[in-house]
Amino acid sequence: MQGVIGVYAREDVGRKSLYTLYGVQHRGQESAGVAAAGDRSLRVWSGAGLVSRVFDERYAPFSHPDDYIVVGCASGEDVSFGFAPRVLENERYRIALALDGYLPKKPGDSNEKAFFDVLEAKLQGTSIIPALKEAMWSLPTAYYSLVAVVLDKKEEQSTLFAARDPRGVRPLHVARTKDKLFIASESAPVDVLEGMGEAFDDRRDVVPGSLIYINSEGIREEQVIEPRPAHCAFEWVYFGRPDSVMEGRSVHVARKNLGHALVKTHDLKKHYGVENGPRKDLAVIPVPDSGRSVCTGVAEGLGVPADEGIIKNAYLGRTYLIYDPTFRKTASDLKHNVIRATVGGKKVAICDDSIVRGTVSESVAKSLRKAGATEVDFLVSYAPIFNPCFSDPADKPLAAKPYRGKSIEEIGRLVAKGLPSIDHVLYNTPENVVESIGLPLESICTFCITGVDPFRKKE
């Protein structure tokens, strides 16, 4: 996963792009990079680590006064693939591109490399805009939100491009005036820019299947492929910032709705004995940060206060994005510390976004037990995960996978048996997930919890 940004601005493009890039840091922590362009040059800077490590506001080497376009990314991809943005050059064009998504590719290739292989073939004998459209048409099983800057060496002009696959699996947000364009994976970074004084005439999600581009001749937008939305449900559950709005649906509100749904589905008022009001020996707490909005919804539904019981070391990043299981557990142990005053001597209902492998959940629950919790329930906002993403065919260990076909109550009981520090695991249903997001079922991808592949389902 990656956070991508693109900025077209005739003034101070380096600083504005850096601020936008900070806003998508949560989508990738392995590396960061930018490509900056003016009329006669296109240069790339990238490196391993967070945006703040690779770039510094006081020293932004890409803020050359002649630049007016920057594209960039905060990447969660394995750095052995190299760093994005990637560069392609032929006799006429120099192109830098970054994308968030998945393309069918050879082992060892990055998604950007796979896209460039297609684009390079389409560039033979034609110009960049027709080639990009042909590339989009040539990738029916790919999904992507991409940004690219193209330097036309013949015309001595650079153009900023943004494109989204017709299913819109990954989010992409655009904000514009007649002579300024900002692209970001999510809306929250643009909110921050507006709070800092940036003004826009129009803001919205990029329409799936469309291509947007801007240069000195103005802004253009073309619907290249008819939209067939299959927005990833996990964007609202985990990937997205809670202050973002995707496809008109607030991430925070969707997560609160998931909390309310848990209370109704499992009759948690009766389960916790709070039909007549709060009890002093119950602590309702979140796993920060994606569990916070869920916890608010659960507490509202129960009619009890939510509390803070776990403090997160924000500098260790998101453990979901760590692939090595041993390091993932170590990172989780280092990342979370328990507030003993909150949980000691109490039954703890802890709210989290999902249980994927169970490594982090067990680590957290074990810490709660050591801090004096008498019982630990995991209230999981997502449904049981049976499949890795359809774009990742690897057979990965998933806590719920062996129990496919059973009820969510039975799955919860069986998963809890394999996690010795946890008393109960209570999941949402796939139907609750879709209803909580608030978009039509046919426009959401739920493959990981239902097995319905948006690229294979009946049209």
Q: Look up residue 336 and give its amino acid.
A: H
Write the pLDDT tens digit of every residue in 357-372: 898 899 999 999 999 9
Assess whether 203 and 310 both reside in one domain.
no
| Listed residue (5, 208, 23) closest to 100, CA to CA | 5
Which domain covers residue 199, as residue numbers?
2-228
Q: Is residue 238 part of a domain?
A: no
pLDDT (0 to 100) of residue 90: 93
Q: How many domains does the chain divide into?
A: 2
Pairing type for strands 218-223 and 210-215 reads antiparallel
pLDDT at res. 346: 97
Residues 6 or more apart in contact with residue 121 via CB below 8 angstroms: none
- Output the pLDDT for position 459: 41
Give the pLDDT confidence score for residue 313 in this predicted structure.
80
Residue 80, pLDDT score: 78
Q: What's the pLDDT score for residue 78?
A: 81
Distance (Å, whole) CA 219 – CA 214: 4
pTM for the model stands at 0.93
Residue with tokens 């919860």: 412
Same-domain pairing of 265 and 300: yes
Q: 161 with 67, same domain?
A: yes
**Is residue 85 reached through a cis peptide bond, with omega within 30 degrees of 0 on the bond before it?**
yes
Phi, then psi, of 237 in degrees rounded to 5: -80, -40
CB 31, CB 83: distance < 8 Å:
yes
Q: What is the DSSP letter of 238?
A: I
Please indicate, yes or no, if residue 146 is contained in any of the structural domains.
Answer: yes
Task: Note the pLDDT tens digit of each residue in 119-128.
Answer: 999 999 899 9
Residue 246 lies in a domain: no
Please indicate, yes or no, if residue 458 is contained in any of the structural domains: no
* Domain annotation covers residue 36: yes
Domain boundary among 228, 263, 282: 228
Query: What's the confidence (pLDDT) of residue 371?
Result: 96
Question: Which residues of the chain fall short of a pLDDT of 70?
Answer: 57-63, 315-333, 393, 457-459
223-234 burial, b if ≥16 CB within 10 A, otherwise e? ebbebbbbbbbb
Rounded to 5 degrees, φ, ψ at 161 are -120, 145
Q: Give yes or no: residues 186 and 285 share one domain.
A: no
In a domain, 245, yes or no: no
Contacts of 458 (CB under 8 A, 6+ apart): none
Please say whether the dihedral angle defined by the alpha carbons of residues 296, 298, 304 and 310, taken in this order, is positive or negative: negative
Residue indicated by tokens 């493009």: 13
By CB atoms closer than 10 A (0-12, 13-18, 19+), residue 177 is middle
CB burial of residue 109 (10 Å; 0-12, 13-18, 19+)? middle
Per the domain annotation, does 365 fall within a domain?
Answer: yes
Examine the domain organization and report whether 217 and 296 are in the same domain: no
6 vs 429: CA distance, rounded Å: 37
63 and 122: one domain?
Answer: yes
At 276, which CATH number?
3.40.50.2020
Residue 220 shares a structural domain with residue 281: no
- Residue 175, token pair as written in the block: 């904000």
CATH number of the domain residue 209 falls in: 3.60.20.10
Q: Verify that 102 and 17 share a domain, yes or no.
A: yes
How many Å apart are CA 459 and CA 450, to the nearest integer?
17
Same domain, 415 and 271: yes
241 occurs within a structural domain: no
If asked whether residues 255 and 387 sit together in one domain, one would say yes
Based on the fold, state whether residues 263 and 198 are members of the same structural domain.
no
pLDDT of residue 62: 67
Q: Are 360 and 400 in the same domain?
A: yes
